[in-house]
């Protein structure tokens, strides 16, 4: 019990924003929960998905996207704020931050998890539509840039440091067929985060990337769970997929005081599948 209390208190009084956190089976949801367990008040954002598009397991339990995540957070004894945000819009991101400050008075942590849906981009480059490529880059890379920029401005003005954690991928370490758009976005996020970490270090703001491998989330549902899924698992030395909670646990650590000397890193969480730095 004492260990749980210590974990809870690490972020006591802090305020976090997690983008792309509306799915029931997702890294964003798991991250929002772990940050809340650690004591943070959490702003949870999503795209305002049409409930008709929800996967069957969400429909079965009456899942209500970001509102369900916030309800879960509040049950942990902290505050939550659900916001629909398009991370490619400067105005919407600024409104997100303004609402965060209005509601909670500060911003300590931002986790940039939003990404374009898996699917239409997973084709050979010669068949990849420009509009699909642009959407992957806009949501994943441009969205991360805009959120980082505006969050950094707020954190610098506050003068008490902060944590920026960008979700990249092992696809940012190694190129793969039919993944060119996603590879491009994630390689760029890793480099961008390294540069930003050096720019913000003097303000006691750390910037790191978390790079998951194959993770059991709703995002991967279009791949199915058949032969292709099984073949992918065979490439993982540990012999299984990761879980959203395992990724969130690392994010929680990077958000806390024990990670104060870690910045500019792109940390793999992939069961040994990819070991490139």
Q: What is the Cβ-side half-sphere exposure of residue 166, based on CA atoms within 13 angstroms?
A: 38
pLDDT in tens, 129-164: 999 999 999 999 999 999 999 999 999 999 999 999
Distance CA 79, CA 36 (A): 8
Q: Is 231 helix (H, G, I), strand (E, B) or coil?
A: helix
Q: Is the pLDDT of residue 5 over 60?
A: no
Domains in the chain, number: 1
pLDDT at 8: 58
Active-site residues, by number, are 182
Query: Does residue 67 fall inside a structural domain?
Result: yes
Q: What is the Cβ-side half-sphere exposure of residue 6, based on CA atoms within 13 angstroms?
A: 6
> Do residues 273 and 237 make contact, with C-beta atoms less than 8 angstroms apart?
yes
Query: Does residue 274 fall inside a structural domain?
Result: no
Distance CA 167, CA 50 (A): 24
Average pLDDT, the chain: 94
Query: Does residue 275 fall inside a structural domain?
Result: no
Query: Does residue 99 fall inside a structural domain?
Result: yes
Residue 42 β-bridge partners: 16, 80
Q: Which backbone phi and psi does 27 adopt, to 5 degrees?
A: -65, -35
Query: Does residue 151 fall inside a structural domain?
Result: yes
Range of the domain at 168: 2-269
Query: Does residue 277 fall inside a structural domain?
Result: no
**Six-digit token pair at 56?**
């069957």
**Structure confidence at residue 219 as a pLDDT band (50, 70, 90):** confident
Q: What CATH code is carried by the domain that includes residue 189?
A: 3.40.50.720
The DSSP H or E segment spanning 17 is: strand 15-18
> Do residues 251 and 19 make contact, with C-beta atoms less than 8 angstroms apart?
no
Average of per-residue pLDDT across 91-100: 98
> Do residues 69 and 39 make contact, with C-beta atoms less than 8 angstroms apart?
no
Shortest CA distance to 76 belongs to which of 8, 22, 13? 8
Q: Is the pLDDT of residue 6 over 70?
A: no
Q: At what angle do helices 90-104 and 143-158 cross, to 10 degrees?
A: 40
Window from 14-18, 146-150, 198-202, 231-235 with minimum mean pLDDT? 231-235
Q: Other CB atoms closer than 10 Å to residue 24's CB: what's the count? A: 19
Query: Does residue 187 fall inside a structural domain?
Result: yes
Distance CA 123, CA 127 (A): 6
Please state, for a pLDDT cut of 90, what percent of the chain lies above it. Answer: 87
Q: Is the pLDDT of residue 277 over 70?
A: yes
Q: Other CB atoms closer than 10 Å to residue 203's CB: what's the count? A: 15
Residue whose pair of structure tokens reads 């008490």 in the numeric block: 160
CA distances from 49 to 26, 46, 218, 277 (A): 14, 8, 13, 35
Residue 162 β-bridge partners: 205
């Amino acid at each position: 019990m004492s260990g749980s209390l210590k974990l809870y208190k690490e972020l006591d009084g802090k305020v976090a924003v997690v983008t792309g956190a509306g799915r029931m089976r997702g890294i964003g949801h798991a991250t929002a929960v772990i940050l809340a367990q650690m004591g943070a008040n959490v702003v949870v954002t999503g795209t305002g998905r049409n409930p008709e598009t929800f996967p069957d397991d969400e429909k079965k339990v009456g899942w209500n996207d970001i509102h369900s995540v916030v309800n879960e957070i509040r049950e942990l004894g902290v505050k939550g704020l659900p916001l629909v945000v398009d991370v490619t819009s400067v105005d919407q991101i600024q409104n997100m931050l303004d609402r965060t400050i209005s509601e909670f008075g500060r911003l300590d942590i931002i986790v940039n998890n939003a990404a374009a849906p898996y699917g239409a981009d997973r084709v050979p480059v010669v068949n990849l539509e420009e509009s699909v490529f642009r959407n992957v880059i806009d949501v994943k890379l441009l969205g991360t840039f805009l959120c980082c920029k505006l969050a950094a401005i707020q954190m610098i003005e506050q003068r008490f440091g902060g944590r920026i954690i960008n979700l990249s991928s092992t696809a940012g370490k190694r190129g793969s067929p039919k993944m060119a758009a996603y590879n491009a976005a994630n390689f760029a996020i890793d480099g961008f985060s390294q540069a930003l970490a050096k720019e913000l270090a003097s303000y006691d703001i750390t910037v790191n990337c978390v790079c998951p491998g194959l993770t059991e989330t709703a995002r991967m549902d279009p791949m199915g769970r058949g032969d292709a899924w099984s073949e992918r698992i065979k490439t993982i030395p540990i012999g299984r997929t990761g879980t959203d909670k395992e990724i969130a646990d690392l994010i929680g650590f990077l958000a806390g005081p024990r990670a104060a000397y870690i910045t500019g890193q792109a940390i793999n969480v992939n069961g040994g599948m990819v070991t490139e730095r």
